[in-house]
Amino acid sequence: MTRIAIVQKAPAFLDRMASLGIAVEAVAEAAAGGARLVVLPEAFIPGYPAWIWRLRPGADMALSERLHRALVENAVDLSKDDLAPIRDAAREHRVTVVCGINERDGRFSRGSLYNTVVTLGPDGSVLNRHRKLMPTNPERMVWGQGDATGLRSVDSACGRIGALICWENYMPLVRYALYAQGLDLYIAPTYDNGDRWIATLQHIAREAGCWVVGSGVAFRASDIRSAAPGLSELYPDADEWVNAGDSAVVAPGGAIVAGPLRNEQGLLYADIDRERIDNARRALDVTGHYARPDLFSLRVNNGPLDPVSFDAPTHP
């Protein structure tokens, strides 16, 4: 058995350093609770830009531009080691950390942002960086499209792990690209929530025969209202739960073993037993005995890794 922890807490919206501080404290708390793997939500640093779902086209253009500038200024540049505090925390507590960030690649563009999930090893190294392939609806006004260079799995104390962000998990070929790498834990940081999303996590656990970790964004209006001028008008009810979170852990085969943590902030723990993976795949192994390579094939153009930003093992 190996313990994991999902951090379902609000960041300090539009404040990179304060959000990093919250993440460092959460890693320490999870490690004290026995976790070997700590998962933080989508775009946690410096927060998911939830305002995009409330801004009015045209009428709120000035506010939209002001919020985007603040997001760019507080985004994470891996080439500048902006994640150093979390890397240090991973090293100090000897845990693997998966964290969602707003990424800014300052070497090539000052304005483009990416919705990125980063995997840090227990030595503090950046094992992988995956940029969301297809931002959803108004997200396309915030983030650029990622590519497949980070569509990879890495080894951890809990087994081989891979991550897809939010609605990437509805893309069958993308899921299969991870399945084919022999995943033990499938991690899904997301802004989505609700019963349909939980059903999606259960479907993936059945389909892949692996553990599925859904890491949700949960915050009240009071957590975001003071982040920038104009947000209090978008979120007039300070007590409103803007997003429910619904973090959950699903066992191979589809049984929910932890969560969903709904309209609540905190840490959600689960103990992972890798033997359950073998039991699930005995009946259904979609990349093994239940595949038909004589009929179907999948080619992924994942290109060379970027050695400047991160180091990662190479897989076929």
Active site residues: 42, 132, 166
Cα–Cα dist 246/249, whole Å = 10
Count of CB atoms within 10 A of residue 109's CB? 11
| Cα–Cα distances in angstroms (integers) from residue 296 to residues 173, 204, 239, 289, 291, in the given order | 12, 20, 51, 13, 8
Q: What angle do CA 57, 59, 64 make, to 5 degrees?
A: 70
Which tokens is 217 given? 């964004």
Phi–psi pair at 276, nearest 5 degrees: -65, -20
Q: Indicate the length of the chain as a whole number.
A: 316
Which candidate, 204, 145, 161, places its Cα nearest to that of 315? 161
User: What DSSP assignment string belongs to 101-120?
Assistant: EEEE-TTT-SS-EEEEEEEE
- Other beta carbons within 10 Å of 204: 23
**CA 126/CA 306 separation, integer angstroms:** 12
Q: Which of 98, 283, 294, 296 is nearest to 207 (CA)?
A: 283
DSSP class of residue 95? -
How far apart (Å, rounded) are the C-alpha atoms in residues 117 and 231? 26
Residue 267 β-bridge partners: 7
Is-contact 46 86, C-beta < 8 A? no
- Residues contacting residue 42 through CB under 8 Å, at least 6 positions apart: 48, 100, 115, 117, 165, 166, 189, 190, 191, 215, 217
